[in-house]
Structures are given as structure tokens and as C-alpha cells.
């Protein structure tokens, strides 16, 4: 990627979340949207969280995508420190299958929003697509790439199921 | 509001959802963001849904806020027909307290995103705020109003609890 | 199968649902009920959905069986566009084991019905059997085949359990 | 209603379920479909259940609508004794809000189908509508009444929400 | 076992439940309590269910242990036809991990009791032990065997954990 | 009641559980089964629990009915100290509607059984009925009273629902 | 209370949480433990949170009791900034009855602990008692007060239930 | 470890819980906190439980860490018999993934507290850390070791995710 400020901060609570969040990275790459992947643990590196979230706007980020699991506080706490749009991805947890992650991210009190996507891989893909939608509002070229991406997705759906061989 | 195209489409599945969604309307008004409230039932008025969703971009809407309850298909189906950002508000349902609404909105498959907010009133408020965040990316005046709104919210938090009298 | 119009439309949201829905296909075959298996994604191919659902009655279908997972909007949206009986099969999802699929299908608002079966394979089998029950109301030969199928099922239940060898 | 055999058996586990199931009765009346409301408790009157279910077809019923709450065995056990289409309505229970009713009705094993509707009033309405869809397959006049009912429902949806006064 | 009437009917909904219910059989054997294992499907063999349940008392059974999964109607329907004590074992189901089985068995309406044990293997073991407790009330020798069984269980608990090697 | 040893110990965790457990008392009275109602809090009066549970058999109790809510340890801990049959009633809790009570009572590990009934009033009624079933095994007069009680219950079910006036 | 540093920081996310957390305050008062009640919203006043949590130890607090509802990040984020013991109270939320609060507080990742109590009033009481237990380890007088408090609680449990009059 | 009284009692309901609880043991070892691991089954060895819990304070233990699964009564019953701080770890159960363990431990009634940690391994680690926090209040050297442990944990978080190779 270029030297320019990245558009998307793609943050996650730990290395283990990367297995999920790399799907967001892949889609951002396909749509040619610059991003910076970062590990920021709300609990183990709270200072890093504060520093990142308070400075994200000044650094030029336009959207934050945040993935976390269990008592997932990263998206909500980031949103508490910035007015940038924050999109949350509940990472599937071991015991509770991501239901704890989902509740911890989506049930924000009125006043601090986190746009929450589905649990796991689908949510990571969709966080990238929603970020693209947002950026497309002021970027016609991206809007066209997104529209083409969506059209290609539509075209890829077969008319009838086939038995696996 | 002025004659100009409204920025936000504030759609909901039924009149009964208005009790929740009017909180989004209130916050949009406070932030001086134009919007158009519409009842669109994915199930009872599917043609209206298709017409709205396929035409929303051309009509000048920038963000769609969609509230629905139970088997809440309105946000996801709207997202299927447009590349505009769609924000979903799970309206609290009678038997399952909005857990059905939440799952129906947030668990979208990879490919079609809906940014989901909390169940009920908090979600409606936050959908408005997230829409404001998105529009602020290319509207400095709104960005300042949003920042002021958030600061006022912070200032309104008392330092210690008081007994109700 | 013959050239005649198929009786059952067996639709599903993606190729991956076929692993579940082929059990419906198998039972329909056993009962000699004609059907057409189709992939229709409510989210990725919404136009295909509208086209199918609005035209299903004219094409001669009598019953629609629709399987989908996660935020499963296919059965309900199909029902929104047709007065044909629609039977929904919640496909087991990864994180939430099909509880999201179930809620998204069964919790339809009053006005648009979807007859919902069990999550997964059992639901697919039963969707075929319920479709057979419905068609049997005006098809004596099918009624006899269904009665025989049910009797054979009863006879196949052993009197006492045996240890696996 | 006339002397003719009723088309629908509208059964329920107890008098207290009538508060829910009368919504099915109302819709059946609106669609001019004859029905017979009966209390049959799978647990307190099991002989009545067996007698009803084994004889329902011979009595001329075409569809059974069965509502029950808690460990709701009435729909499934009825389906075990007949090949008529059985539609189940999970009645909202006190402690678990109908989640127990829903699971007890919808999670039938492969082999014996129950078409399950939503918990509570919406499910009762939809059971009547699904029964109407089924009967419409061989009754053109009913098909027209159902189509008209659905169109009226669509027309009744206002374009925009109004504040309650 | 001897020619005498068996004390316990150990019934289950299908062959696949035997993998769980054989743990009840093992404990009954250890406690020298006679039993008869039977497959009775409430849904696929409802006549067998009626015949068994109405005749269980006359055949000399003292307690019925019934295991079933999903929409598990076997224990409750058996209890509907007999005044013998019925103990229910929720067999772990695929999608919902036995939560559906548990609700379907334990949430019986007032009037017809089923004594419900834990989901899966632990429940099967405990159904046998509870049956032994019941029979012990009028069988001193069994009471002593049960007391000894329990004491041996207590003695088998090590004082401190050991690392697996 | 007479001077004789009571047959049933009807224990509960607190005064507030009596509102539920008095339904068990009522049914025991109807069936002329002697019982002693006691408040025993597993957590606030653990010594009372140990003393009761270790001495229950010697005091002549035949069955223990134990009701508790939330982290409901009373039934399971009683069962740990006695080989008498213990029947557990999950009392409906405030926040989690008795789901916590249910899990805490029914999910006992293999080795120590608690026969669990439904959440709340229905469970209390059924605990009394199951205790009656157990005692009936060696008490013909009670068996007849129980059979009559059940028959009266069956007879009391009306044939068709009536509108409330 | 005296001029000395307070021992307990009793923090909560909003004024509305006081209705729950005042039960902790009452018990702390009964045990003569000094405390300071503060409103700190993790989301609306994140700077206040950081300032409080990083300075709590230096200010002389020994234990933090933190109550919050919904996506309850206050206890976990406080724990991220301090090594003081943090006790979390899940406040009952509207739609999800505190299940979201509970998951958001208890499911902390390995590395940052929050000792979580029950949802609602019981949890608030117990947070105060657990704090007392902790402080008692190095305060004999408090240990005696706590022991007396617990003994009085035990003595207050009646032996048998009474009907409300 | 030395001859001195151990500071922590690390108790668990069965050998199988050791796979989870050994993570607590590892962290206690890293922090040089003495502990004694013990198997105490609330249900299979209730006398051992009473003996341990009533004597724990006199034996010199300062904190009890208790892990158990399913109907997990060990932490709460221990807390009933002692005023020492009791920390509970819900061990992941087979069918319900530890949700039953969590509810059985955390939902204690007001009056007897258990500080509950996360389900499984994370909870075991955090129980050790919370115990360390508690002991640190009167042990400066431990406080420094804990602070260093936490700092090392923070330092170990990489800045950006890496692809697994």
C-alpha cells in the first residue's frame, strides 16, 4: 500500500482474532481500500487503546473495524473515545459460541454507537463491505468497485444445487 | 425541513415500531440531519420494499436506518437491493424480548452487511448517531455538531448518584 | 421427471444448504412427488427471489419448501410475494447452531405465514412429508403412498435396542 | 356454520389457550372457512387425543391447527396419529415466554411433521392463513378470498408513522 | 434375569438413544434391579406407546424410565396414560444440545408429572439411581445395595487431582 | 395431621418460595398425604440443611420435595446427604425467569439424582403428584385416591373453549 | 464517615444503576465499611474512567465494586487499568434481563479478572459482602462484624413458612 | 513449597475439572503463591465439603478457589460455611457448554457471595489473578510480583497480527 494515511483501522483484541479478521482484510484488499491491521487489547493494553482511539481521527482513519471475543469491550471502548464510525465484529468464543461477544458489542447504551455485524467470518466480511459502503458515499470510484463486487457476487450464485463429487 | 433530498431514510416495519424509532428521529432532529420516516413492511408490503430499496440511492438518501421486530427481514432485504449503508434496529418483541429481532438482523451472511445496533430505544438512538458519524466524514459542520452533542452528553453525567425523592 | 409442471419448488439460499435440503429431495423422490431444486439467495440474488416468488403460482408450483440459515429471510420473503403454502427449514448455522435460523423463519408477524419445521436434516425430511400431506388432500394415490410410507416407518422401529457391534 | 363437515379442527390444550387461539378462529371466520374448536389436552385427556387424531380424517377434517404451551405435545402427538397436515401454534408460557412451547412443537424428529408458526397471537393468525393457503389449492373461491384478504392487508399499511394522540 | 415381572421399564424413542440409555441399564444391573429395555417412539409408533403405557402397571412395572431427544414427547405421554412414576432423560440433540429435549420433558403442565434428570449420560445414570431410591422404600435389601453403591462412589473420590500421564 | 411421622418433607429455600410450594401442599392435602413444610436455606442455614438431610430417613420421611430459586442448591445438596428420593422444584427467579433455577437443579452429575419438575406452580403441583405415585407403589388406598384424582382432572376438561364473560 | 480515605469505590455506569447499587451501599454501611459512590460511565465518560481506574490505588481504595448493565464494560475496563480487586455487578437490563450485562462482565479473557456477582439486587448485596470478606483478611474487627452479620442472617431464617395475611 | 500453611485452597469437584483448574495452579506458581489442590465433590463427598469449608479459616487458608461444572454447587456451598472469600470457576460442561455451571455459581442469593470468573480456562487463570489481587492488599512483595506479571502480559501483546506459517 501507499504512503498515504490508511482509510481503515482494522483492530482486534488478540492474535487469535486474526483468523477471523483476515477475512475483512481480504475484502478490503479486493476493493482496494487501504487499511492498517493492529492488535489492541482493551484489557491487556488499555493504554494502547486510549492512545489509538483518541488519535484515530487525527491520523486520518475514516472508519474503525474492531473484532473481539468473549467480554468484547474493544469496539465499544473505541467508540467511547472517537466520533468515527466504529464497526464491531463478534469473534466466535469457545464456550458460548460468540453469543457473549455479540451481546458485549451490540448492546451498547444509547449515546455511543457500534455498528455490529454477524458473529465470525461473515461478520468480518460484512464489516469490510459496510466500511466500503460508507466510504463510497464520497468516493465514486470505490462506489463503482463496490457495485461491481456485489454484481459479481450475484452472478456467482448457481441456479441449482449440485451434488458434491 | 427543506425541499432538498432527505439524507436519511428512516424506515420501519409497522406503526408499532414508531414508538421505538421516534428516538432515532429525535436525535436526527437534534443533529439537524434531514430524514424521511416511512413504514415499509417487508412482509405485508414487499413491493414497496423493492421499490424503495432499489430507488433509495437515486432519490439521494445516503444512509438507511431500518427498524423491525420478530422475524425482522426489513434491514437485510433493504441491504440486498442497495449498496447504501444500512443500519438495523432490532425492535423489542413480545415473547422473545427482541432476541429474535436481533438474530434476524445481525446474523446476515457474508456479502450483504447490516450494521446492527442494540435492541430497542438505545439502538434507535445509536442508529441516528452512527448515521451522523458516517455523514460527518464529508460534512465538517455536522462533525462539529456531533462532537458538541457527544461533549454535552459527557458533561451531563453527574459525579455521584442521588437518591430519588 | 416428466415434462409436466413440477409440484414442489425446493429452494435454498446457497449451495451449502443442499447438504441439508437433499434429504427433502430424497423423501419427495420416495413419494414420487415432482420437484425443482433451485438456489435462490434472498440477499445475494434478491431479483431472482422476487421473480421466483411472484411467478411461482403461475408456473404451477403448489407448495414451496425453502431452506436457509443464519438471518434466514428466504422463506418469509417468498411467503410475502405469494399465497402458496411456504414451508421453512432452518439450516443449522455455525456459531448459533440454527437458533438464529429458526427465529428468523418461525417468528413471522401475523399476516404472512411460514410453516416451520425442525432445524436441519429432520426439518428437511419433514418439509417433504408435510408437503405430501398437503398435496394428498386432493390426490388419493399420493395419500396412499404417504400412508404406506408412514406405515413402513412404523414397522421399521425395532422392539428393543441392540448394542452396536 | 352449516351442517357440513368442518374443514379445520382447531384444537388446543386448555381453556387458557383460547385467548391465543381465538385469533385463528377470527381469521378463519373472515375467510369463511368452517372449523370446530375443541379442547384436547394431550396430558390430561390422552384418550380424547387418540380418539380425535385417529378419527380426524374420517370425520372430514382437512387440516388440524393445534395450539399448546410449555411441554407442548398436542401438535406432535396429533401428527403421530394422522397423515393430515398439522399446524402447531406455540402458546406463550409464563416462565420461559413460549421458548419451551416452540422447541416442543418445532423440533419434531424426521418422519412426523408439524408445520410450526410463531409464538402466540401472530402464530395463531398465521396458522389460519396457512390453512387457507392449503385449502386454496383446490378451492378457487377461497383462493380469491385469501388473495383479497392479503391485498387488503397490504393496502392497510400506512405510508408513514403517526404519533399517537 | 429371572422369569419374574421386570421392575423397571427402560424405554427410549429410538435405537440411537441407546447410546445414552445403556448407562441406566448398567447402573440397574449393578444394583441388581430387573428391567426391560424397549424402543417406543411416541411419534413413529404411537399405538405401541398407548399400549405400553396403559398396560405398564398391569404388567408389574413399578417405575418407567423414558429417554428421548428433540421434541421429546415420550416421557410426558407415557405419564399421561399411567399413574406409575415416570422418570425422563433428555437425550442430547444435535443442533440444540438437548435444551429442546430438556424443555420438552421437564415443562409438563400441572397435573401430569415427569421426574426429569440431567441431559445425557449423567441423566441416564441418575434415572437408574432415582428408580433405585424409589424401589428401596419397600425393599430393604435394595436399600442396602444402594447405600453401599453410594458409599463406594464416595470412597472412589481421590483427595487431590493428578496430572494425566 | 396426626402424630405419626410425616411422609413427605416439603422443604424450601426461603419464605418467598412458599408462594410456589404451597401448591404442592395443597395437592398433598387433597391426596391425604402427610407432610411437614420447612424452610431450609442451603446457603443461609447450611447446618440446618446437613442436619435435616442426614436425619431425614431416620425421621421417617419417605420422599423429599425441595423448592429453590436462582443458584438453587437445596435439592442437590439434600440428595447428596440421603438416599431418599428427592424431587426438585425450580422456583421462578426474577431476572432469568427460573432458567438458572432449572439448570442448578436438573444438571446434577451422574451419581446423585434429583427428579426435577417444571419451573414454578406447575412443578410444585407435579412434585406432589410424583411423590404420590411413588408412595402409591406400596399403598393401595393412596393409589386409588391418586387414580381418582387423575380421573377427576380428566373429567374436568371441557370439550370446547368458551369466551370469557 | 470520617476524613480518612474510603476503602471501597462503589462505581456505577449511570444514575439508573443506583437503584440496584444502593443495596451494596446499605450492606457496606451495616458493616461500617467506608465507601465512595461514583457515577463513571465507561462509554459516556471514558476519560473519567481512565482517571479513576489509574488513580484508584494511590487514592487508598482497596476494592472496587462496579455495577453496569447491557454491554457492561465498566468493571472489565476498570480492572484493565488497576491491580486492585474489582467486583462486578450485572445490572438487570430491559430487553435481555441482564443476561447481556452478565456475559459482558463475567466472560473476561484470561489475564484481567473481574469477580462477578449475581444479576441485580442480590449481586449488589453480595459484592458488599465479598468486599467485606476481602478486607476482613487484615482487619479482625471487621471480620467479627462480618461473622456477626452472617450469624444474624442465619438466625433470621424461620423454621417453617407462614401464609401471608 | 514450604511447610507453612498454604494461602489458597484450590478445590474442584472431580478429577476431570483439573484440566481446567491446573491453569489456576500454573498462575499461582508463577506468582509464588502457595496453594493446596483438593478434590471435593459437593455431591459425592458432602461430608468432605462440610469438613473442609468449616475448617478452612482455621487451617490458615486466605482465599478459596472452587471450580465445578453442571449443577455446580461446590463454590456456593463452600461460601455458605465460611466467611473467607470464595472465587468460583464455571467448568465447561458437555451439553450446555458451561452455561449451567455459570448460572449455578453466579446466581447466588443475597447473603452468601461467590466471586465468579469466566467459563473454563480463562476463568481459572483469572481466579488465580484475583486471589493474587486480594492477597496483595497486605503483601507488598506479592503486589510487586503481580504488577510485574501484568506488565509483562501487556508487553507481550504484538502490535500487529501475523499470518500463521
Q: How many CB atoms lie within 10 A of CB A54?
A: 14
Q: Is the ipTM of this complex over 0.95?
A: yes
* Chain G residues with beta carbon closer than 8 angstroms to that of A108: 43, 70-71
Domain boundary assignment for chain A:
8-155
Whether G161 and F44 lie within 8 Å, measured CB to CB: no
Nearest-5° Cα angle at A41, G65 to G68: 25
Contact present, F87 and E115 (Cβ < 8 Å): yes
Whether D106 and C108 lie within 8 Å, measured CB to CB: no
Helix/strand/coil for G113? coil
The answer to whether B14 is annotated as binding is yes
* Chain H residues with beta carbon closer than 8 angstroms to that of G121: 110
Distance from CA of B157 to the nearest CA of C (A): 37
* Chain E residues with beta carbon closer than 8 angstroms to that of C157: 14, 39, 41, 44-45, 48
- The residue behind cell 375467510 is D31
Phi, psi of A154, deg, nearest 5: -65, -45
Whether G126 and H111 lie within 8 Å, measured CB to CB: yes
Percent of the residues in chain F that have a pLDDT greater than 90, as a whole number: 95
Residue H2: band (very low, low, confident or very high) from pLDDT cuts 50, 70, 90: very low
* pLDDT above 70 (res H120): yes
Interface with chain D: mutation pick from E102, E107, E114, highest number of D CBs within 10 Å:
E107
Contact present, H133 and G115 (Cβ < 8 Å): no
Helix/strand/coil for E81? helix
Which residue from E85, E124, E138 is facing F138, i.e. has the nearest CB?
A: E138
CA–CA dist H49, H57 (Å, integer): 14
Contact present, E31 and E132 (Cβ < 8 Å): yes
Pinpoint the alpha helices (H) of B31-139: 46-55, 74-81, 99-106, 121-136
* pLDDT above 70 (res G97): yes
For strand G63-69 and strand G86-91, is the pairing parallel, antiparallel, or unpaired? parallel
CATH placement of domain G8-155: 3.40.50.1970
Arithmetic mean of pLDDT, D63-81: 98
pLDDT at E136: 98
Percent of the residues in chain F that have a pLDDT greater than 70, as a whole number: 98
Region of C10 please: left (phi>0), alpha (psi -120 to 50) or beta.
beta
Contact present, C74 and B141 (Cβ < 8 Å): no
The answer to whether B145 is annotated as binding is no
pLDDT at H165: 57
Q: What chain F residue is nearest to D13 in terms of C-alpha separation?
A: F157
Distance from CA of C72 to the nearest CA of A (A): 13
At C40-96, the pLDDT tens digits run: 999 999 999 999 999 999 999 999 999 999 999 999 999 999 999 999 999 999 999
At G26-83, the pLDDT tens digits run: 999 999 999 999 999 999 999 999 999 999 999 999 999 999 999 999 999 999 999 9
- The residue behind cell 387488503 is D152
Which residue from A46, A103, A108 is facing G43, i.e. has the nearest CB?
A: A108
* Chain E residues with beta carbon closer than 8 angstroms to that of D80: 42-44, 46
CA–CA dist A49, A44 (Å, integer): 10
**DSSP codes, chain G:** --SSPPSEEEEESSGGGHHHHHHHHHHHHHTT--EEEEE--TTT-HHHHHHHHHHTTTTT--EEEEEEESS--HHHHHHHH--S-EEEEEEPPTTTTTHHHHHHHH-PPTTS--EE--SSHHHHHHHHHHHHHHHHTT-HHHHHHHHHHHHHHHHTS-SS-----
Contact present, A89 and A127 (Cβ < 8 Å): yes
pLDDT at D4: 76
Q: Which of D116, B74, B68 is nearest to C106 (CA)?
A: D116
Whether F119 and E129 lie within 8 Å, measured CB to CB: no
Distance from CA of C4 to the nearest CA of B (A): 30
Helix/strand/coil for G68? strand
E64's CB contacts (< 8 A; 6+ apart) are E8, E9, E11, E53, E56, E75, E78, E82, E84, E85, E86, E87
Helix/strand/coil for D125? helix
Show which residues on chain E lie within 8 Å of chain F, measured between beta carbons.
Answer: 23, 62, 83-87, 102, 106-119, 121-122, 124-127, 129-130, 133-138, 143, 146-147, 150, 153
Q: How many CB atoms lie within 10 A of CB A2?
A: 6
Q: What is the dihedral of CA G82, G84, G89, G95, to 10 degrees?
A: 10
**Cα distances (angstroms) measured from residue D90 to each of C47, C116, D42, G14, G154:** 33, 12, 14, 38, 43
CA–CA dist C94, E2 (Å, integer): 50
Does H have 3 or more CB contacts under 8 Å with F? yes
At H59-92, the pLDDT tens digits run: 999 999 999 999 999 999 999 999 999 999 999 9
Whether G44 and B97 lie within 8 Å, measured CB to CB: no
Residue H164: band (very low, low, confident or very high) from pLDDT cuts 50, 70, 90: confident
Whether G80 and A44 lie within 8 Å, measured CB to CB: yes
Whether A119 and C44 lie within 8 Å, measured CB to CB: no
Q: How many CB atoms lie within 10 A of CB C35?
A: 20
Q: Which residue has the higher pLDDT, H27 or C3?
A: H27
- Low-confidence stretches of chain B (pLDDT < 70) are 1-3, 165
Q: Which of E131, E123, E134, E155 is nearest to E30 (CA)?
A: E131
Q: How many CB atoms lie within 10 A of CB H162?
A: 10
CA–CA dist A111, B156 (Å, integer): 12
pLDDT at C2: 47
* pLDDT above 50 (res G3): yes
Which residue from G99, G120, G164 is facing F94, i.e. has the nearest CB?
A: G120
Whether G108 and A43 lie within 8 Å, measured CB to CB: yes
Does B have 3 or more CB contacts under 8 Å with A? yes
* Chain E residues with beta carbon closer than 8 angstroms to that of C116: none
Beta strands in chain A (DSSP E): 8-12, 35-39, 63-69, 86-91, 115-116
Q: What chain D residue is nearest to F161 in terms of C-alpha separation?
A: D15
CA–CA dist H45, H50 (Å, integer): 9
pLDDT at G1: 42
CA–CA dist A103, A109 (Å, integer): 12
pTM of the model: 0.97
pLDDT at H1: 42
Amino acid at each position: 500500500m501507499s504512503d498515504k494515511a490508511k482509510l481503515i483501522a482494522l483492530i482486534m483484541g488478540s492474535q487469535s482474532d486474526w483468523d477471523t479478521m483476515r477475512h475483512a482484510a481480504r475484502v478490503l484488499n479486493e476493493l482496494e481500500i487501504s487499511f492498517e491491521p493492529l492488535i489492541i487489547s482493551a484489557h491487556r493494553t488499555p493504554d494502547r487503546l486510549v492512545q489509538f482511539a483518541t488519535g484515530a481521527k487525527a491520523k486520518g482513519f475514516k472508519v474503525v473495524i474492531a473484532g473481539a471475543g468473549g467480554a468484547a469491550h474493544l469496539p465499544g471502548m473505541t467508540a467511547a473515545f472517537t466520533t468515527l464510525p466504529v464497526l464491531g465484529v463478534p469473534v466466535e468464543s469457545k464456550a458460548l459460541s460468540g453469543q457473549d461477544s455479540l451481546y458485549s458489542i451490540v448492546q451498547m447504551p444509547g449515546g455511543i454507537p457500534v455498528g455490529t455485524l454477524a458473529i465470525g467470518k461473515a461478520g468480518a466480511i460484512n464489516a469490510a463491505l459496510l466500511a466500503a459502503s460508507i466510504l463510497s458515499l464520497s468516493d465514486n470510484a470505490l462506489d463503482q468497485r463496490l457495485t461491481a463486487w456485489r454484481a459479481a457476487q450475484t452472478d456467482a450464485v448457481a441456479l441449482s444445487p449440485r451434488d458434491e463429487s
